[in-house]
C-alpha cells in the first residue's frame, strides 16, 4: 500500500522513485477529456482577479514557491512575491490592492503558515492552499484548495511533495495565462509529461548517484551548491536536503554571490556542486565554478543536455527551461540520500526534526 515501504530500505528512496508517477497522476487529475486544463472555476476567477500573488510557505515548500514565482511571472506576467511564513507573520510587507494569498504546504498543518492565514482571512483577502492533505487545517480554512496528489509522504525529508507542488504551480500558471488571454507557448501538460520521463531516467541512475555521493560527500564536513536563475532555487533545496538528513553543513548560493564573501570558505577539497540547466547563464555559472576550483574546490557539475560539457558528472535529459527544477532536484535528492545512508544517519527520521511543524 501507499504507506508501506515494500522492498525499499527507506521511505525517502521510495518517495523519490514515485515522482514520475506522481507527475503523471497530477496530469490526469488536472486534465479534461479534451486534454485541456481542468481547474475549479472559482480558483481561475480568484487568480485572474488578483493584481499580485503572495506565496507563503516554509522549508522545502518555500523552495517550491520560489520556482512558482518564476513560473507565474514568466508564463502569466503577473507579479508574485514569495515569503517565508514565519517572517511574513511578524513583518508584513506592503500589500497590493487586490492580493491573492497562496499557501504551499505538504501537510497543511504548518503553524507558521496558519498564523498568516488567520490574519489574511481577518483582512478579507482571498486565499488558496496547495497541499497534499486536502482535509488539513490550511485546506479547510482557506477559500480554495488545490491537491498535489502525491500520496502520503512519510519521510521527514520532503521529495515527491516538492516536485508535485511545482507541477501544480506550472498548471496553475498556464491556466492563468489562458484566462488572461496572454499568448504563451508554454504547454504545461505536454512539458510535464516530458519532465516525468526525464525524472524516471534519473531515478534509474542510482548507482551513478551513489558513486557521486562517495566521491564528494562521504568524508566531507561541508558542501556548497551553486546555481543561477531557476537553478539557484533548486540548489537551495539540494542543500536543505543534504543538511537535514546527512548533517553535512551545506548551503546553496547564487553563483554570482560567491565572490561577495562565501568564497572565503573554500578550502582544498571542499565539494562544490554546480547546477547548470539554464542556457543564458551557463557560461556565468561555469565561470563561478572556475573561481572556486582555482581555490582548491572539488567540483561536481549537474547540467542539462544541450548545455553540458564532456566531463560533467551528471547530465539530465532535455526538458523545458521552466521545468528543470522538477528534474534537476532528483539527482540532488539521491546524492543526499546516499550520503546520509553511508554516514549512518537515520534517513527517514533525522534528529531534531518533525514531519510537520505544528508549533510556531
Ligand atoms: C523538508 O524536507 C522539510 N522537512 C521541511 O522544510 C518542510 O518542507 C517544512 O516544514 C514545510 O512543511 P509543509 O510543506 O508540510 O508545510
pLDDT digits (tens, 9 = 90+) for 220-255: 999 999 999 999 999 999 999 999 999 999 999 999
210: cell is 551513489
Adjacent-strand bridge partners of 314: 302
Computed from CA positions of residues 55, 335, 300, 293, in that sequence, does the dihedral angle turn out positive or negative? positive
Distances (CA, A) of 287 to 272, 284, 294, 298: 13, 5, 11, 15
pLDDT at residue 360, rounded to an integer: 85
Its pTM stands at 0.97
Residue list, ligand 1 pocket, CB within 6 Å: 58-61, 105-107, 110, 156-158, 244, 356-357
Adjacent-strand bridge partners of 54: 81, 101
CB atoms within 10 A of CB 219: 12
Helix (H, G, I), strand (E, B) or coil at 222: strand
Q: What kind and span of H or E run contains 277? A: none
Helix (H, G, I), strand (E, B) or coil at 29: helix
Q: With CA atoms as reference, report the closest residue to 36 among 236, 188, 220, 248.
A: 188
Helix (H, G, I), strand (E, B) or coil at 128: strand
- Rounded CA separation 223/216 (Å): 9
Query: What is the 109 CA–ligand 1 centroid distance (Å)?
Result: 10
Strand order in the sheet with 144-147: 80-84, 52-57, 99-105, 127-131, 144-147
Helices 188-203 + 160-179 axis angle, to 10: 160
ipTM over 0.85: yes
- How many helices and strands (H and E) does the chain possess? 13, 10
- With helix as H, strand as E and coil as C, how does 37-88 read? ECCCHHHHHHHHHCCEEEEEECHHHHHHHHHHHHHHHHHHCCCEEEEEHHHH
16, 55, 61, 62, best to mutate for ligand 1 pocket (most atoms within 8 Å of CB): 61
Residue positions counted in the chain: 360
Task: Tell me the catalytic residues.
Answer: 355
Q: Which atom of ligand 1 is nearest to the CA of 59?
A: 6
What residue ranges of the chain have pLDDT lower than 70? 1
CB 139 within 8 A of CB 108: yes
Q: Which atom of ligand 1 is nearest to the CA of 241?
A: 2
CB 212 within 8 A of CB 313: yes
pLDDT at residue 341, rounded to an integer: 97
Q: With CA atoms as reference, report the closest residue to 152 among 24, 268, 5, 265.
A: 5
CB 161 within 8 A of CB 169: no
Tens digit of each residue's pLDDT (9 = 90 or more) over 317-331: 999 999 999 999 999
Q: What kind and span of H or E run contains 90? A: helix 85-90
Q: Which atom of ligand 1 is nearest to the CA of 161?
A: 14
114, 351, 357, 360, best to mutate for ligand 1 pocket (most atoms within 8 Å of CB): 357
Amino acid at each position: 500500500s501507499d504507506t508501506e515501504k515494500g522492498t525499499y530500505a527507506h521511505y525517502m528512496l521510495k518517495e523519490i522513485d514515485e515522482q514520475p508517477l506522481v507527475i503523471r497522476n497530477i496530469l490526469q487529475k488536472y486534465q479534461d477529456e479534451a486534454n485541456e486544463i481542468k481547474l475549479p472555476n472559482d480558483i481561475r476567477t480568484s487568480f485572474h482577479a488578483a493584481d499580485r500573488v503572495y506565496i507563503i510557505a516554509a522549508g522545502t515548500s518555500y523552495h517550491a514557491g520560489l520556482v512558482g514565482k518564476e513560473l507565474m511571472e514568466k508564463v502569466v506576467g503577473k507579479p508574485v512575491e514569495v515569503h517565508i511564513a514565519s517572517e511574513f507573520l511578524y513583518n508584513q510587507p506592503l500589500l497590493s490592492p487586490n492580493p491573492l494569498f497562496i499557501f504551499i504546504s505538504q501537510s497543511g498543518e504548518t503553524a507558521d503558515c496558519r498564523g498568516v492565514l488567520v490574519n489574511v482571512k481577518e483582512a478579507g483577502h482571498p486565499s488558496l492552499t496547495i497541499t497534499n492533505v486536502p482535509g488539513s487545517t490550511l485546506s479547510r480554512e482557506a477559500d480554495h484548495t488545490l491537491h498535489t496528489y502525491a500520496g502520503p509522504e512519510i519521510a521527514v525529508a520532503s521529495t515527491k511533495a516538492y516536485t508535485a507542488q511545482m507541477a501544480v504551480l506550472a498548471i496553475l500558471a498556464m491556466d492563468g495565462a489562458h484566462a488572461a488571454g496572454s499568448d504563451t507557448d508554454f504547454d504545461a501538460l505536454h512539458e510535464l509529461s516530458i519532465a516525468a520521463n526525464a525524472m524516471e531516467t534519473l531515478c534509474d541512475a542510482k548507482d551513478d548517484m551513489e558513486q557521486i555521493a562517495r566521491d564528494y560527500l562521504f568524508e566531507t564536513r561541508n558542501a556548497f551548491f551553486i546555481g543561477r536563475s531557476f537553478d539557484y532555487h533548486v540548489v537551495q533545496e539540494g542543500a536543505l536536503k543534504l543538511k537535514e538528513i546527512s548533517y553535512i553543513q551545506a548551503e546553496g548560493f547564487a553563483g554570482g554571490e560567491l565572490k561577495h564573501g562565501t568564497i572565503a570558505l573554500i578550502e582544498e577539497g571542499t565539494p562544490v556542486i554546480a547546477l547548470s540547466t539554464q542556457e543564458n547563464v551557463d557560461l556565468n555559472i561555469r565561470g563561478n565554478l572556475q573561481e572556486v576550483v582555482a581555490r582548491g574546490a572539488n567540483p561536481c557539475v549537474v547540467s542539462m543536455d544541450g548545455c553540458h560539457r564532456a566531463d560533467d558528472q551528471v547530465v539530465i535529459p532535455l526538458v523545458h527551461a521552466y521545468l528543470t527544477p522538477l528534474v534537476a532536484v532528483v539527482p540532488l535528492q539521491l546524492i543526499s540520500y546516499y550520503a546520509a545512508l553511508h554516514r549512518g544517519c537515520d534517513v527517514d527520521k533525522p534528529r531534531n526534526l518533525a514531519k510537520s511543524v505544528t508549533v510556531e
